């Protein structure tokens, strides 16, 4: 896999943080877990249930050596979100996230959570009387 980075951009690979001083192309030759800087969510931006879940999973990727407690927090968060969810798209998406977490595929879990952001926003925008299943 080839990844292009701009000067000053960071990439998080298997818990390591790399910053490049010039435009580079990195070729990853084996299976690694990585996050590009533009996919990293800051804590202050984790303002909805799905974004908080994303932040927890992101923490698992960024600190893989310390992730036992984070994995437990992720599972607890998923259980709570499942109990609150009423919309079948959210329920199905959370099931996919859980499968990826159990299969130790946190990057795939992040992608699945990102796909739920739009649905969560749509549900939050619906009038109170017509809400079909927003997550509390």
What integer pLDDT is reported at residue 14 of this predicted model? 84
The reply to whether the predicted model has a pTM over 0.85 is: no
Sheet holding 16-19, edge to edge: 16-19, 10-13, 34-36
pLDDT in tens, 19-77: 999 999 999 898 888 888 888 999 999 999 999 999 999 998 888 777 788 889 999 99
Domain residue ranges in the chain: 2-38, 41-130
Please tell me the distance from the alpha carbon of residue 101 to that of residue 113, in angstroms, as a whole number: 11
136 pLDDT higher than 50? no
The number of angstroms, rounded, from the C-alpha of 58 to the middle of its chain's C-alpha atoms is 5
Alpha-carbon distance of 97 to 53, in angstroms, equals 10
Q: Which residues contact 108 (CB under 8 A, 6 or more apart)?
A: 100
Integer Cα distance of 101 and 95 in angstroms:
10
| Distance spanning both ends of the chain, measured CA to CA | 39
pLDDT at 128: 62
CB-neighbour burial class of residue 50 (10 A; exposed 0-12, middle 13-18, buried 19+) = buried
pLDDT digits (tens, 9 = 90+) for 74-130: 999 999 999 999 999 999 999 999 999 999 898 899 999 999 999 999 998 887 644
**Residue 127: predicted pLDDT:** 73
């Amino acid at each position: 896999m080839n990844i292009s980075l701009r000067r000053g951009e960071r990439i998080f690979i298997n818990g390591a943080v790399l910053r490049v001083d010039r435009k580079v192309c990195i070729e990853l030759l084996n299976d690694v877990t990585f996050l590009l800087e533009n996919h990293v969510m800051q804590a202050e931006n984790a303002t909805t249930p799905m974004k908080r879940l994303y932040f927890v999973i992101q923490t698992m990727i960024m600190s893989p050596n310390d992730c036992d407690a984070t994995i437990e927090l992720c599972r607890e968060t998923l259980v709570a979100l499942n109990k609150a969810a009423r919309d079948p798209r959210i329920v199905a998406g959370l099931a996919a996230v859980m499968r990826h977490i159990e299969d130790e595929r946190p990057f795939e879990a992040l992608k699945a959570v990102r796909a739920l952001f739009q649905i969560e926003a749509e549900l939050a925008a619906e009038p109170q009387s017509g809400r079909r299943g927003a997550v509390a």
